[in-house]
Structure 1
């Protein structure tokens, strides 16, 4: 495909519709957006309160040195790798991290590969920046995982300069094992492809441990965020780890594009990194909701509803009920008060058959949504 089409972010479109129904007095079960139902750790909130009486001006474009040093320690503790704090840049969420990565890492109009299905903002950001896109299809038969062979075949058909890949993935929850990620990075190195590792769902893994691309190579780009595992979506705070040849260029761009990330959010993020015990308890709540949701979707008759290994999504085949998941989701919202995201958000070719449900909210929301869907689908 070419990058000349920018489409709505349907998860947010559904959220807007759901909020309008709530304004009319309706009670809605929100399973449409990947937003944690829990709050940040108490010490994070205490750190923010301490900001109120302090001047909170701009930081450097790279972010507070204390936060970058703590992030470097995070990589040593969690992944056993040494990262220079000068190679870390604090960003306004992962969204600005993607923008800086594309602009700093590639020539104008370069072609970037992404998976299909995949996070819809990838295509829209690339289109907004006038990059070209190659979509590489993944499927349920191998757990929605991209392979080195897939990359090689797509590159042979039409070469690309970069590959952006998430593990755990949105919308499928697919998680790459270390050897699988290593094989992907190896083929990228051999073909001269810049690899961008989207690691924003790290910490939300129910089947093993997360592997960072930094464990395998320091020549590529890592994008991460405090939004998901750390329950800080609205705080808009994330980070990049960049190699020698890109970090200065990204810093210069950030100086003019964003100046700096929020000083208050950076203070909160610094506190969050020391609260993993608290957030691991949140993950256990997602793990319980995960089993409840997938079991319920199976009983309702959705296809391909095998429990995902990571993130907090169920990407399921809705073709037993519809061939138009957009209409299906709108009708389910109107009639049952359950908000879910149509697969067209993640796959513009085959997404009409799929629906993504998020179990990031409370267990009570998941249970209530399943009861309503049972009635809506006539299974009750």
Structure 2
């Protein structure tokens, strides 16, 4: 029954289907096309030459955890012990640790609708009850305490910047959510994978507002441009360190060794500033163009997605995504991947390809929708 409840991750089906078209325009996949810092590449070559193929300890490399610790102190003014940091195979491994430490069979995990589809699928896999709380434009696509109060929760999952909407949680709201969860003994799990990819304002770390039962998840796949290296991390409360170690040892022994050595050079601030600048240019371009075709509820503040309302053309995002792919070879992600709260009226567009690539797609889209309207 666990697997039967899980839904397909539709975007990966779209990726597979798009491979049939040599001229496909890719707005579907959430991975950067930019390479990592050259320093990362050099570190990987050195690691191969030095035959660094053995396991690391389950926590991960001490040197990398020290760099992550320093990053939190410098960026957020948050001071953590390196023993609280666990390197994981992607953020998926981090979610599994956080869920295993906080949620037993039939426990309730709350999150927003729309939100990243793997949250609910991990819940189903672990016999956890997912609780979907609808949010929208009126809430700035943020959960608030008012959404939590009618429910009995064991854990709350948020993401900021969010996938698929690109919104960033307001600092006062994030503080209120953390305080509420601490007062009710609700585990607070904060997905901060898109930190760094923020534009007009910065994102706050949940640990700025409390550390009792707070779990922070991040990784190297987005801002650091290392999606295929499959390396994430989770920060756990101090009293959960030993339990997290046992979970990590049994789930995956350790994160990929070469990936960890490469990531030692990922905190290249000069290079990362260029990455951020490039994605902001892409955001500005695609937002302007899509706003002429669809209703956009909010200009994304972070990540690299635009949540576009397609109601003028369709009320079935899955069928519309298939239509665009088959007719004009444009790959997008149907909103229904992210929940059921009006998501059949939305497509997610990722600006993870260069502007020239996106411009070709926009032109095809304009021509096709014009023709569609005329008919």
Q: TM-score, normalised by structure 2?
A: 0.95
Matches of residues 101-116 of structure 1 in structure 2 within 5 Å? 101-116=98-113
Contact 1:3–1:130 under 8 Å retained in 2: no
- 2:371, 2:82 → 1: CA distance? 55
Match of residue 300 from structure 2: 308
- What residue in structure 1 maps to residue 357 of structure 2? 365
Question: Which deviates more from structure 2 when the two are superposed, residues 358-367 or residues 80-89?
Answer: 358-367
Do the aligned partners of 2:189 and 2:215 also contact (CA within 8 Å) in 1?
Answer: yes
Give the SS at the match of 1:36. coil
Partner in structure 2 of residue 296 of structure 1: 289
In 2, the alpha carbon distance for the partners of 1:363 and 1:295 equals 12
Question: How far apart in 2 are the matches of 1:207 and 1:139?
Answer: 21
Structure 1: give runs of 5+ residues left out of the alignment.
none
Is 1:280 the equivalent of 2:273? yes
CA contact (8 A) 2:179 2:209 kept: no
How do 1:205-220 and structure 2 match up within 5 A? 205-219=198-212, 220=214
Give a deviation string over 1:239-290, Cα, whole Å, max 9, x none: 01000222211111111210101110001111102x1221221111111111
Instruction: State how far apart, in whole Å, the 2-side matches of 1:66 and 1:34 are.
Output: 29
Q: Deviations over 1:66-99 (max 9, x none)?
A: 1111111111111111110011000111001101
Distance, in Å, in 1 between the alignment partners of 2:157 and 2:187 is: 9
- For this pair of structures, how many residues does the alignment match? 369
Q: Report if the CA contact (8 A) 2:216-2:235 is conserved.
A: yes
Structure 1 contact 223–239 (Cα < 8 Å) conserved: yes
In the TM superposition, what is the alpha-carbon distance from 1:55 to its structure 2 partner? Answer: 2.6
Partner of 1:263: 257
What SS is found at the alignment partner of 1:114?
A: strand
Q: Distance in 1 between matches of 2:3 and 2:154?
A: 15
Cα distance in structure 2, aligned partners of 1:187 and 1:218: 13
1:192 paired residue number:
185
Answering whether residue 231 of structure 2 is matched by residue 237 of structure 1, we say yes
Aligned to 2:320: 328
Q: Secondary structure at the match of 1:291?
A: helix
Task: Give the RMSD, CA atoms, in angstroms.
Answer: 1.5
Q: How does 1:25-64 map to 2 (within 5 A)?
A: 26-56=22-52, 57-64=54-61
Asked if the contact 2:304–2:350 (Cα under 8 Å) also holds between the matched residues in 1, the reply is yes
- The answer (yes or no) to whether the contact 2:137–2:297 under 8 Å persists in 1 is no
The answer to whether the Cα contact below 8 Å between 1:105 and 1:246 also exists between their aligned partners in 2 is no
Kept in 2: contact 1:237–1:265 (CA 8 A): yes
Q: CA deviation at 1:29?
A: 1.0
Quote how far apart the aligned CAs of 1:311 are.
0.6
Q: After TM superposition, which residue ranges in structure 1, 4 or more long, deviate above 4 angstroms? A: none
Q: Decide whether aligned partners of structure 1 residues 331 and 305 sit closer, same or farther in structure 2, where only a CA change above 3 A counts.
A: same
- How far did 1:357 drift? 0.3
Aligned equivalent of 2:78, options 62, 78, 81: 81
Instruction: Point out where structure 2 has 5 or more consecutive residues left out of the alignment.
Output: none
Secondary structure of 2:270 counterpart: helix
